[in-house]
Chains A and B, each alone.
Chain A
């Protein structure tokens, strides 16, 4: 019996030691002379195709090879904290919202990029969202403007329609669109995880509440249940929802874009990246919500990146960060369409014509950060799901605003 016990204990000890060693060596970063940098970003499909030329340019100019992995930021938000706590990182450079970067910079999991990139190479304020305690914790890549409602110029011409310049004209346009054969609803509501509805809601706030209301809601100094916010929703957004001007929320990417393009839903509120998702971007027109207060804002959502503390190749990652912050990299990206540079020195000639028109919509308006990306956390998921509820039942405005306020 004693021999049997000794044998069992010996087997247990040996198997545990072997397993432990295997796990230890498997989790070690690869040791090799080859220069490589790993990148995780949210883009797939056409957006990924438009991003990879920038990475290729980096590889050519530096001799550092790269791997790019697509992962949704919502998924990274749950997996990264655990990996950081275990002293690991899935990549050397990761694209995440600014709220995430600042939160985990505060916990010591983010490498400072102070000295690697700086405000001098950027447009004013581009790094504000990733700056804390006098240090720069992330970089701003290119961004997307959410300028307003996209339409097909050929569709409008065929039906004798023109973009509205007043709220009254806007509601008249919606009524006209409903009368056209084949049109199910005038405006398609994008869905997916929920952000397209928050984008259009932010546009209503920035237009009819102004930049100051948007900024105050972002800073949490104004309550969602405040009369001014409630009145804005009740006066502008809710009546259009109740009038059936919006489609049910539909997955925003392939089905949504196709239904917009074939005229089932002739208007689509979407970011400027839609120019890279349609077959003929030159047929696209765009208009912002008409009328509104004097100091209007427009949301410019930059893509932010950071270098995790546990990056396997921190030197190469910092070189890539500096490259992403450069006019050279961002010029390559904006040429693909749908992106607006945050770096200074990107020539206007680099933009496709449709993006140049988008840039024109920024004139005279305050540039605002994406509201729910900036706050992040459970506020974001609550904001999305409550707006989905408002789209389903506009009479629940009061409870929707109360629930959003409770989540701030």
Chain B
């Protein structure tokens, strides 16, 4: 990989070419510096202060010791668990559900007439503002107006025929499960695009060899979709880390009953905009924590994409191995 790069860079650029490139590069660079890097730097600095006093990691310590962030009683008594755990729960539950629902839909709709229309409907969840989705979710799980409690009541499950908004467990898991549909549109569309990139020869050859549909899926489709899966996982992780609108729309600035649905971004919002007077330093500390988490996730994705370390299907790996052996 190194040699071609050196060849492309060639001899030192002339001053004229450098000036030309800089002219096109500078406007974007200046905007990035002013609108992205400067606010990030200011936020990081702000997070180490309390008023005008330098407190080091004091704000981070205070936030991590706050039961709103990590509730030790949650482990034994159920929700509220705290914002960190709630964000983690969103990732653990919401991500695989939306990912595999999208994958299943994309595969099922692969050879369906009018699939684009169905996909458009599925994608509606992605283009609906999240705050609207939050309000809608609130309505659907709140008794006596919502259809979710009414449905469980009608099928003889009285323990779920309750006001889901009013109880910590049903609120948290109701919002996580209820919002799967909104993000499924994203994974469905990306997987559908990914499926079109797999050469049809692979499938035809497998069928000629008598492979079952399950084997075709597990040996060809799924391995070749792994780069796409990587993108979906990363984007979903970022979405679930910065989750805010749905919770605020469905509950309130406190994250609902006992803060059961509270998340880091909502906690940051409370510090910045609800507290009287505003606690900007703590808000900055939460923002930095979110920045760290999202940077780690994004860094992982970019490293995989830039290094081209995308997994290959087993068949392709076998082919590559035999080719190298022949050499």
Residues of A that sit less than 8 Å from B by CB:
1, 5, 12, 74, 77-78, 81, 99-100, 103, 107, 191, 193-194, 248-251, 255, 259, 376-378, 381-382, 384-386, 388-389, 391-393, 396, 399-400, 403, 406
Contact yes or no, A248 B274, CB < 8 A? no
25 contacts between A and B (CB under 8 A): A1-B20, A5-B23, A12-B27, A78-B269, A78-B273, A78-B274, A81-B273, A81-B278, A103-B277, A107-B277, A191-B165, A194-B254, A248-B167, A251-B142, A259-B144, A378-B271, A378-B274, A384-B252, A385-B258, A388-B166, A392-B168, A392-B257, A396-B77, A399-B77, A406-B67
**Ordered nearest first, which 4 A-B pairs have the shortest CB separation?**
A389-B258, A377-B276, A385-B254, A381-B254
B227 at the interface (CB under 8 A from A): no
- Chain B residues numbered 261-283 whose CB sits less than 8 Å from any CB in chain A: 269-271, 273-278
Contact yes or no, A391 B166, CB < 8 A? yes
Contact yes or no, A193 B167, CB < 8 A? no
Contact yes or no, A248 B166, CB < 8 A? yes
Contact yes or no, A389 B20, CB < 8 A? no
CB distance from B16 to the nearest CB of A (A): 9
Residue in B closest to A386 when the chains form the complex, CB atoms: B258
Interface centre among B67, B167, B168, B253 (most CB of A within 10 A): B253
Contact yes or no, B252 A250, CB < 8 A? no
CA distance A251 to B167 in the complex (A): 14
CA distance A248 to B256 in the complex (A): 14
B106 at the interface (CB under 8 A from A): no
Return chain B residues, CB-CB under 8 Å to A194. 252, 254
Contact yes or no, A248 B253, CB < 8 A? no
Contact yes or no, B168 A378, CB < 8 A? no
Chain A interface secondary structure, helix, strand, loop or mixed?
helix
B110 at the interface (CB under 8 A from A): no
B102 at the interface (CB under 8 A from A): no
Residue in A closest to B274 when the chains form the complex, CB atoms: A378
Contact yes or no, A389 B278, CB < 8 A? no
Return chain A residues, CB-CB under 8 Å to B145. 251, 255
Contact yes or no, B143 A384, CB < 8 A? no
Return chain A residues, CB-CB under 8 Å to B254. 194, 381-382, 384-385
CB distance from B141 to the nearest CB of A (A): 12
Return chain B residues, CB-CB under 8 Å to A250. 143-144, 163
B259 at the interface (CB under 8 A from A): yes
Residue in A closest to B279 when the chains form the complex, CB atoms: A378
Contact yes or no, B256 A388, CB < 8 A? yes
Given A191-B166, A193-B252, 5 extra CB contacts under 8 A: A100-B276, A378-B274, A386-B258, A392-B167, A399-B77
Residue in A closest to B256 when the chains form the complex, CB atoms: A385
Return chain B residues, CB-CB under 8 Å to A78. 253, 269, 273-274
Return chain A residues, CB-CB under 8 Å to B189. none
CA distance A77 to B271 in the complex (A): 12
Contact yes or no, B273 A77, CB < 8 A? yes
Set A5, A74, A193, A255: member contacting B144, Cβ < 8 A: A255
Return chain A residues, CB-CB under 8 Å to B258. 385-386, 388-389, 392, 396, 400, 403
CA distance A78 to B258 in the complex (A): 21
Contact yes or no, A381 B163, CB < 8 A? no
CB distance from A346 to the nearest CB of B (A): 32
CA distance A391 to B167 in the complex (A): 9
B73 at the interface (CB under 8 A from A): yes
CB distance from A323 to the nearest CB of B (A): 28
Return chain A residues, CB-CB under 8 Å to B257. 249, 385, 388-389, 391-392
**B229-254 contact mask (Cβ, 8 Å, vs A): 1 or 0:** 00000000000000000000000111
Set A376, A389, A400: member contacting B276, Cβ < 8 A: A376
**B136-150 contact mask (Cβ, 8 Å, vs A): 1 or 0:** 000000111100000
Contact yes or no, A248 B80, CB < 8 A? no
Set B20, B67, B275: member contacting A403, Cβ < 8 A: B67
